[in-house]
Chains A and B, each alone.
Chain A
Amino acid sequence: MTNQIVIDPITRIEGHSKITIHLDDAGEVTDAQFHVTQFRGFERIVQGRPIHEMPSIMARICGICPVSHLIASSRACDEILSVEPPPTGADLRRVMNLAQIVQSNALSFFHLSSPDLLFGFDAEPATRNIIGVAKANPQLARDGVGVRKFGQQIIEWLGGKRIHPAWVVPGGVDGPLAEETRDRILSTIPEAIAAIERALAWYKSELVRWEEEAASFGDFRSAYMGLVDADGNVDYYDGLLRVMDADGHLLADRIDPRGYREFLGEAVEPWSYLKSVYWKVLGYPEGVYRVGPLARVIVATQMGTPRADIELDEFRRRLGRVPSSSFHYHYARLIDTLYAAERIEEILRGPDILSPRVRSFAKINANEGVGVSEAPRGTLIHHYRVDDDGIVQWANLVIATGHNNLAMNRSVAQVAKRYVKSAQLTESMLNRVESVIRCYDPCLSCSTHALGEMALHLQLIGPDGAVLDELMR
C-alpha cells in the first residue's frame, strides 16, 4: 500500500501549487512532486493580437515581475521590427530591469524567506511572518521595506506606476529620463546599498546556523545557466548564455540565447502545469540545471561592480566556486541585489543618460523574434512568430521557474526524505519541504503556460484510493 502526504497550498510563494509526498509501506518517503495547479495560457491568449500590444499584454502575466516580461517581450518585438534601441533607450530599459530585480529579490529575501531564516524552521507558524520579523529584528524588517520601496519607486518614477508600467515599448522606451527623476533616484541609492549590506552582514553572521539545512535543501550536482557579457561578467539585459557544470567546467559559453531551441528541451508532465526545461545534450530528466541568483553568481567571472565583487569573492571563499545547495540562493540573492543597486547608479551617471533619443521606430521587418533577459528568478525567453501584418501567430515563453522545475522537484524529494517521517509528522517538517521551494522564489503566475496542447491529467479517485476513471490529453 502506498500512502501520500499532501501540502496544499504552499505558502509564501507567488502563485498556487501543492506538493505530494509518496510513502512506502514502512512509511519511508519514496518520492515527492511539486505540482503547479494554476494555468494561465498566455501563449494562446496572444494569438491574433498585433505585435505592438505584446509587451503590455505579456506584462499582465505577473504583478510581481511585470517589468521582466516587458523587457523580454520588447526585445522580441525589436527583432521583429529589426531595430536596435538607441543606446540611451537600452540603458533606461536596463535601469528598470535592475530595479525590478531589486524589488523582487527584496520581496523574496526579506518578506518571504527571512521569517524562516530569523526564527528557524521549527518556530511557531504564528510568529514566522513579516510582523514577527518586525518585532524580533526591526532593522531587518525596515531594510526589507526600504529596499523593496527603492526598487518599486524607480519603476514608478520611470514608468508612471509600479505595477504594469507601459513605458518599455518595442524600439526602446516611451520617453526620455528627466534630470530631476535621475537625481531623485541617485539620492536614494546610498541608503539602499547600506540596507542591502546590513542584510548581507546579518545573513553571513547567521550562515553557520543553517549548515544542516544547506546539506539537504536541494544539495545535488547540476549545471547552472545565466547571461554574461563579453568579459564573462553578469549581464541582465542582453548578455550571452553561459552554462557551467557542477565542477565549474563550461558546458557552453557565450552562445546566442536566441537559438535556445537547439540546446534547451521543454517537457510536460501530466501532474503539473509547469513545463520542465532541460539541457538537451543530457536528455530528460537528466539535463537538470538551475537559473536565477545562485546560477548568476556561479557562472559569472565577476559581477562587475566594486561592492558586489567583494561580496562574490567572500561567497566563493565560504562556499567554493560551485556551491551545490539551493539553500545558497538566499545568499546569492543578496549579492545579486547589491549588484543591481550599484549598476543602476553606474548607468544613471552615464554622460548620455538624459539624451532625448530613446526609441527607434520601424514597421514589421521580420516574422520571428526572440527576446531574452535575466528576470529576478533567472533567464527569461519570449519567442514570437507574426504574419506580414504583425499579427501574432504563435508564441512560446520559457520562464525562469520552468528552467528550475526539475531542480525544484529533486530538492523537494531530498528534503522530504531527510525530514519527513510519517510516524512523527510535524509542522516543521512540512515547513522545510515548503521552504526549499522558497529558495528558488518560484513565480508560478509567470511560469504556467501551455506547450502546444495543455498537459492535463484528470483522475476520479474513490474513497478507497482506487482510480475510478481518468482522462488524459
Chain B
Amino acid sequence: MIDNILVIGYGNTLRTDDGLGWYAAERLAGDPRFAGATVIGRHQLTPELAFDVSRAGLVVFVDASHGPAAGTFTIEWLQADAGNATGWSHILSPSSLVDLARELYGQVPDVAVIRVGVESLAFGDRMSPAAEASLPGLADAVAELIADHAARAGTVSVADQRRA
C-alpha cells in the first residue's frame, strides 16, 4: 500500500549538507517508484505534521547527521512507545512528533529514521559531492523499506514485530 507511505525529508537548504533531507525529498518525489506515496520536504519538523503522521502506515524521516561517515547512512526503527516528548519551542524531533501523533490521534505508524552522514554544515545552497553522491543509494534504501513494509502489511505490523 504505497498510498499510506509518508516520507519527510527535512533540513536547512542554506546550510549545505544540512539540506540533504529536503533534496532527498525532491528526488524521491520525482522517482516513479514512489508514485502514490506522500513525499514532503520541510525546513524542520513542526507540530502540524502530527496529523499527517497519524494517518500514515509507514513514516520515513530523512535527515542529515554528523554520526555516520559522509555519504553513508543508518536506518533506525523508532520505538513507538519511547516517550521521548520533551519541552520545546516550535521544533520537534521525529520521536516527539510520533509521540504527539499518538497523544492527539491515538494512532502510531511504523517509523524509520534515516540519518545520512554529511561533510559540511557551512553556509551554502548546494550539497557537498559526498552528500550528493549518497542520494541514489538513499532512494534505493527507502524503496527497499517501503517494499519490506508492504510485504509485511496484512500479517503483522513492523512495530508489532519489533515489540515481539
A interface list, Cβ under 8 A from B: 11-14, 60, 63-64, 107, 111-112, 125-126, 128-131, 134-135, 138, 141-142, 144-146, 148-149, 152, 161-164
Contact = CB atoms under 8 A, between A and B. Distances in A.
18 contacts: A12-B89, A13-B89, A60-B14, A63-B43, A63-B44, A126-B87, A128-B87, A131-B100, A131-B103, A134-B104, A142-B104, A142-B105, A144-B47, A148-B47, A149-B48, A152-B48, A161-B41, A163-B42
Contacts of A135: 103
B97 to A, nearest CB: 10
A193 to B, nearest CB: 17
Nearest to A163: B43
Contacts of B87: 11-12, 125-126, 128-129
Interface residues of B, number: 22
A440 B85 CA distance: 26
Contacts of A111: 47, 90
**Nearest 5 pairs between A and B by C-beta?**
A131-B85, A134-B103, A149-B48, A129-B87, A163-B43
Contacts of A138: 103-104
A142 B101 CA distance: 10
Interface string B17-51: 00000000000000000000000011110111011
A141 B41 CA distance: 24
A130 B100 contact: yes
Interface in B99-127: 99-100, 103-105
B59 to A, nearest CB: 16
B89 A112 contact: yes
Nearest to A104: B90
B51 A146 contact: yes
Contact of B89 (A11, A145, A149): A11
A130 B88 contact: yes
A112 B90 contact: yes
B86 interface: yes
Contact of A14 (B43, B44, B85, B90): B90
A107 B46 CA distance: 10
Nearest to A110: B47
A268 to B, nearest CB: 26
B16 to A, nearest CB: 16
B96 interface: yes
Nearest to B51: A145
A129 to B, nearest CB: 4
A142 B50 CA distance: 9
B53 to A, nearest CB: 11
Contacts of B96: 131
Contacts of A64: 90
Contact of A141 (B42, B44, B104): B104
Contact of B48 (A12, A13, A148): A148
Interface string B67-101: 00000000000000000011111100000100110
